Amino acid sequence: MAGEFELIKQYFKPLSSGLSESEVGIGDDGAVLNLPAGKQQVVVTDTMVCGIHFLEQASAYDLGWKVLAVNLSDLAAMGAEPAFFSLALTMPESDDEWLGEFARGLSDLANKYRISLIGGDTTKGPLTVTVTANGWVDSQKAVLRSGAQVGDVICVTNNIGDGALGLKVALDTLPASTIDGAPQDDLEGLLNALNRPEPQLSVSDLVKSYATSAIDISDGLLADLNHILEASRKQLNLIGLQAQIEVNKIPLSKLANQYVQLADDWSPVLAGGDDYQLCFTIKKKDLETFIHEALAKGVKVSAIGKVMEGEQGVKLLKGGKSFSSDNLKGYLHF
């Protein structure tokens, strides 16, 4: 069993290799980092507590991946490029096998997006992991929640709802009738969406160039879109800012579509959370360019609705007709 300093050296020091010679990472009282000219720093932090943000049986690898992924997802939504991160790890005991897997998950994602670990803290207690990630964005170019304009198109990346359905798979609460005949690979895909979300950093530069507002979907599409509406309404000084969403346009995986149809339940898609896809607004004239350029980076972008002046909140349409559902009470204003 490694002691505190040994475990930092063995498991976490290797993740700090991306720093330049003039910078100081792990090992001193603080990290010392160079600031690029013409950029602003974007700082995000997210904590995951065992039993609340992840299941007790979650693998150490997945936890290492996800705690960094959810932070990188925030950077992507701001239009920032990732630079470095710190890690505060609280665990009940020092378990070499667990630490090795945790560090492997963390470093697989850190290497993919070239982000260096610059320090942290290690303490004993109930399993809790906090990452603070830092990124750069061109000065005054950060994409905020408050920039949506009347007439903008509302878009999302990839598919929505797989993370929330993955949680149902993990908890074994997905009714068998709704997944009848689903290949094992599709079920694994749902679990993967839950456990190893991919931060949408490959389009963060596009978001920076074209989006008028953006948010990453962590609490569910409706809740997060409402954050955009609320922040933008204030900025625009309007009485009400409305998003009209056509639910049939929300991109779903094959299995999510099957679930929604058979269970007649849209809640994993609209209110599920754990998507880590981006929801953003964009001017109509920029939409085609964005879709085309995102596709070249392997990211599907779907237009799902528009921003209008009107009663505050999200209004759902299905086939053009007003849509609401008992499962969504508490999430919908209409």
Q: Give residue number: closest CB to ligand ADP.
A: 119
Size of the site for ligand ADP (CB under 6 A): 13
Instruction: For Mg ion, give the closer residue by CB, 121 or 309.
Output: 121
Q: What tokens does 205 get?
A: 């530069």
**According to the binding rule CB under 5 A, does residue 4 interact with Mg ion?**
no
Which residue from 4, 6, 96, 121 is in contact with Mg ion, where contact means CB under 5 A?
Answer: 121
Which parts of 192-251 interact with ligand ADP (CB under 6 A)? none
User: Considering the complex, what minimum distance in angstroms separates the CB of residue 121 from ligand ADP?
Assistant: 5
Cα-based angle 213, 214, 218 (whole degrees, multiple of 5): 150
Rounded CA separation 111/99 (Å): 18
6 binds Mg ion (CB under 5 A): no
Q: Which residues are registered as beta bridge partners of 315?
A: 244
Show the site string, 14-53: x = touches ligand ADP by CB under 6 A, - = not.
------------xxxx------------------------
Residue from the set 122, 202, 209, 324 that interacts with ligand ADP by CB under 6 A: 122
Shortest reach from residue 128's CB to ligand ADP, in Å: 12
**Per rule CB under 6 A, is residue 127 in the interface with ligand ADP?**
no
- Could you list the residues that contact ligand ADP (CB under 6 A)? 8, 12, 26-29, 87, 89, 117, 119-122
- Could you list the residues that contact Mg ion (CB under 5 A)? 121
